[in-house]
Structure 1
Amino acid sequence: MPPNVSTVYDRYGKTYNLSRILNAQDRLDPIKYQAYSPPYISAGYYLYLCVSFTAYTFAFVYVFLNEWKIFQEAIKGLWKGLRDRKSSAYARYRDPLSILMRNYEEVPDWWFLILLVISVVVGCVIVHVYPTGTPVWAAIVAILVGIAMLVPCIVLYSNTGYFLSLNNLGTILAGYMVPGSGVACLILRAYGYAVEDQAETFISDQKLAHYAKLPPRAVFRAQLIATIISIFVTSGALELAHGLPDFCSLDQGSRFYCAWSHSIYSGTLLFGAVGPHRTFDLLYPMIKWAFLIGGVAAVPIYFVRQRFAKQLRFFHPALVLGGFMRYGTGYNLSYYTPGFYASVAFMWYIRTRYLAWWSKYNYIISCGLTAGIAFSGILIFLALQYRPKTLVWWGNTVATSGVDGINKATLKPLPNVGYFGVANNTWV
């Protein structure tokens, strides 16, 4: 198998055919599974799963040890806001921005709680009414687990800018709660992931609005309206994308390869359809120990950083784990290298030498580059890719050259027995 891909393979070295192990109800059929093949993953994807599960327990324990005062303050602030609806979140802070923001009417905490209840109810109704095969109680459990991990993930994100995704954790929970169902696994994975993902995005917007001194209730209305609009826009975009020929295949004409979606599919196949018992206990037993390793390792690393705070002030262990999680899954090194160069230039060279210029223009340039990518992507697709046009130059051809581009490499041939991995009739 190629070493750094998220694709799942069968014992014949081919892409795993999920339909060959499912019954008419889209559940795992043990007889078909026994007759076909266990799933095999690449070394890079194996490393990604191990580090991902290590990061969950590590982040929870480490952030709690390092930032327990923030946990305490957050819980007290929420409780105070619910008990006293007229209390001000800004009154607890003396910084200039908070003092200025006191002139605006704040958004009460109970407004957010009402939206939370409405969203959970709608989500539960959807999984019950539509033929998803997902029990409502499982959806509620996935949401509660996401909420339990929310504060550690948000604190880590605010300190480092690193986004710790919970999608793999939701996959495992779904595999145990609704075994053998890939569809239920995918839905519960999305529910658990969305809690943390949307919270981090929402808080980033709130932070930007706070720095820009925008009225909190105006920001609340804007975010609510934009969310409602995005529901219909996203649904329409998905319907359009699904109509494209060979959508998400590696030879798709407009290069809609869906690298991250392939990774999600692979995790759903492993822990949803095949199940965590077969994956953890029979095929890859070392992966499950990653949870214990992460939780135990967080304690000594915390005390080492406390003891050598000055020497390790630029070292954050969660970022090291995050670097491993970016390796060997959906993207190769060339995907991240340009961003690394830009970060060194702006966040170190310019910031340490031209601080005034950096303070005035850095975030404007960042927003401009982000918007430019979005708009240029739409323009390029509509002008050149929707109805393919021939435009040959180095910028178009370099991405498809080399081993990564042509998606072919020299691999070892299958053994003479015609398959690799475990012997016949030894998996269940």
Structure 2
Amino acid sequence: MKSQMMGYGWAGVFRKFLVDSPYMWWPSNLVQVSLFRALHDIEKRPKGGLTRLQFFLIVLISSFSYYIVPNYFFQSITALSFICWIWTNSVTMQQIGSGLFGLGVGSFGLDWSTVAGFLGSPLATPGFAIINIMFGFFMILYVITPIAYWTNTYEAKRFPIFSPGVFTGNGSVYDVNKVLNPKTFEFSQVGYDQVGQVNLSIFFVITYGLSFATLAATLSHVGLFHGRSIWRQTRESFQNQIGDVHTRLMKKNYKDVPQWWFYAILISMLALAIATCEGFGNQLQLRYWGVILAGGLALLFTLPIGIITATTNQQPGLNVITELIIGYAYPGRPLANVSFKTYGYISMSQAIMFLQDFKLGHYMKIPPRSMFLVQLVGTIIASSTYFGTAWWLLHKIENICDPSKLPEGSPWTCPGDAVFYSASIIWGVVSPRRMFGNLGLYEKVNFFFLVGLLAPLPVWVLSRIYPEKKWIKLINMPVILGATGNMPPARAVNFIMWGAVGIFFNLFVYRRFKGWWARHNYVLSAGLDAGVAFLAILSYFTLQSNNINGPKWWGLELDDHCPLASCPTAPGINVEGCPLYE
């Protein structure tokens, strides 16, 4: 709850820039606005057509009815990889064709959760952002990764081509228990000397490098393209001149929320966080200065990342930079690393969500003080509910988050937690110095910081030389570099389907059937999301909570049936279930 409330405070600090500004339009809010209008507006049905409410209900019922297939009866339909089924004994072809564990060439899914589960609804993402993301995705996955893997960069062939796991030099899974002192829960140098250095799959290495580049590119992009407007808005905010028609209407009709309300929440939550970390026998391993530093990072990055999110519907992550900084400052302490990440990255992420909600209230003309109170109370209720639910699930679901021990068809595989676990090893236990510093294998990855810092510069220069070519300003280097930031846990098939659906609706349909798109696109997105959500909840409480996971057959597995896609191809590397190359 502290991280959420801290996020509330950061949102208040930057409200004038990211909510009142007419240039910060928050695309995903348009889905909610369209849904609310469909539900509440009195609309006359056009002859031979449907009202938006009727259209929404039809989509909702259809999505709800269909989702029983990929959620319960035929989970494999979420990722169909035909290349693997043709070349059943070829590691290379399965690496190329697997939509879950490889490059995903030719793979696809027939499930809305495959499309929108990790990247959000493509219908709510502007067309230019979709082009940026898919360009970055294709360059990273189909150019950079294959070249790096098949040239054996960083001994890439010893490990899977795509995996969030951590490995030893011989290709086996890294045993973190041997490098972690069970009494102090800190790094053990003796154990590390026995096990050796941590190795990553080549895609995971590239992902970390690009996350470095994305952070640097975000700062330089915002400085180059939005620096003047930020300075202008700063001056105007002190003169109360900032805003568009929405802002003027809000200020005319409602009392604004005093800034000191947000500052009071922020200061009190920072104090509570410090007290929590310093108390309880220092079990969280993080000291007071770590909490203050994490807050400083959130303060630094909320505005630039908020600008990217408010204009492209894509949020660059701050998780890597927080892990990197505390990993260098306080190495060998995984709990300190996770706590620092929570107060730095998670609080900033929560701030972005709060700002998005504030903008929604802005569009819907909800009184700011009512919005403040509802969000405050909702945060307290939601965080308490989340904590209770998580605690209950950990005790209720046996072997939760361990796919190797879960029954067939179980949904409790926790793909995001696998990435979080690997990150805690890389940054918290082993420390970045032994990964990306002078003691590690991946020191050259730090050059990605320089690449990211310089990447927006050519685009900015071209936009100044050719101001009449508006499309140049639509090239967003932070979005391109961070295109695969959600991989893993997102997989190739998620991006392929997300891009295909987004390009079809927000480019083809938008241009050919603009009237239909304006009337139904966002309502369609809301209906698809709602149908999946309602059926998932119903299915859990009636079936999956009772360990009723569907009929036993080939299609029940949440897998694309490419067992060799995760195999190494280096000679002499012996992994169970994989062919041995001589």
Indicate yes or no: 2:531 matched with 1:382: no
Q: Which residue of 2 aligns with 1:21?
A: 179
Contact 1:5 1:330 in 2 (8 A): no
- 3-state SS of paired residue (1:164): coil
Q: Which residue of 2 aligns with 1:424?
A: none
Contact 1:5 1:45 in 2 (8 A): yes
Q: Percent identity?
A: 23
Cα distance in 2 for partners of 1:120, 1:27 equals 25
Cα distance in 2 for partners of 1:296, 1:408 equals 35
Q: CA deviation at 1:33?
A: 0.7
Stretch moving more, 100-109 or 26-35: 100-109
Q: Which residue of 2 aligns with 1:139?
A: 291
Contact 1:124 1:136 in 2 (8 A): yes
Indicate yes or no: 2:391 matched with 1:239: yes
Indicate yes or no: 2:324 matched with 1:172: yes
Q: Which residue of 2 aligns with 1:3?
A: 161
Indicate yes or no: 2:479 matched with 1:319: yes
Q: Which residue of 2 aligns with 1:96?
A: 245
The alignment's C-alpha RMSD in Å is: 2.5
The total of aligned residue pairs comes to 405
Cα distance in 2 for partners of 1:188, 1:361 equals 43
Structure 1 pair 250–12 and aligned structure 2 pair: CA distance change class (3 A): farther
Q: What's the TM-score, normalizing by structure 2? A: 0.65
Give the letter for the 1:322 counterpart. G
Structure 1 pair 124–5 and aligned structure 2 pair: CA distance change class (3 A): same
After superposition, residues 151-162 of structure 1 pair within 5 angstroms as 151-162=303-314
Contact 1:127 1:136 in 2 (8 A): yes
Cα distance in 2 for partners of 1:332, 1:13 equals 22
Q: CA deviation at 1:325?
A: 2.8
Contact 2:332 2:428 in 1 (8 A): yes
Stretch moving more, 375-384 or 130-139: 375-384
Cα distance in 2 for partners of 1:313, 1:416 equals 48
Q: Which residue of 2 aligns with 1:306?
A: 464
- 3-state SS of paired residue (1:347): helix
Unpaired stretches in structure 1, ≥5 consecutive residues: 81-86, 419-428
- 3-state SS of paired residue (1:293): helix
- 3-state SS of paired residue (1:268): helix
Stretch moving more, 244-253 or 25-34: 244-253
Cα distance in 2 for partners of 1:103, 1:242 equals 48
Q: CA deviation at 1:380?
A: 1.8
Cα distance in 2 for partners of 1:417, 1:352 equals 53
Stretch moving more, 388-397 or 131-140: 388-397
Unpaired stretches in structure 2, ≥5 consecutive residues: 1-158, 576-582
Structure 1 pair 417–224 and aligned structure 2 pair: CA distance change class (3 A): closer
Structure 1 pair 365–266 and aligned structure 2 pair: CA distance change class (3 A): same
Aligned pair partner of 2:355 in 187, 203, 208: 203
Q: Which residue of 1 aligns with 2:194?
A: 35
Give the letter for the 2:225 counterpart. N
Cα distance in 1 for partners of 2:177, 2:557 equals 36
Contact 2:236 2:242 in 1 (8 A): no
Q: What's the TM-score, normalizing by structure 1? A: 0.87
Contact 1:132 1:183 in 2 (8 A): yes
Cα distance in 2 for partners of 1:417, 1:373 equals 41
Contact 2:550 2:556 in 1 (8 A): no
Q: CA deviation at 1:412?
A: 3.5
Indicate yes or no: 2:288 matched with 1:129: no
Cα distance in 2 for partners of 1:117, 1:308 equals 46
Q: Which residue of 2 aligns with 1:421?
A: none
Stretch moving more, 304-313 or 379-388: 304-313
Note the alpha carbon deviations across 1:105-125, whole angstroms, 9 max, x for none: 111222111111122112222
After superposition, residues 258-269 of structure 1 pair within 5 angstroms as 258-269=414-425
Cα distance in 2 for partners of 1:187, 1:411 equals 35
Q: CA deviation at 1:313?
A: 4.3
Cα distance in 2 for partners of 1:416, 1:99 equals 67
- 3-state SS of paired residue (1:286): helix
Q: Which residue of 2 aligns with 1:346?
A: 505
- 3-state SS of paired residue (2:398): coil
Cα distance in 1 for partners of 2:209, 2:566 equals 25
Cα distance in 2 for partners of 1:313, 1:54 equals 19
- 3-state SS of paired residue (1:113): helix
Cα distance in 1 for partners of 2:573, 2:302 equals 51
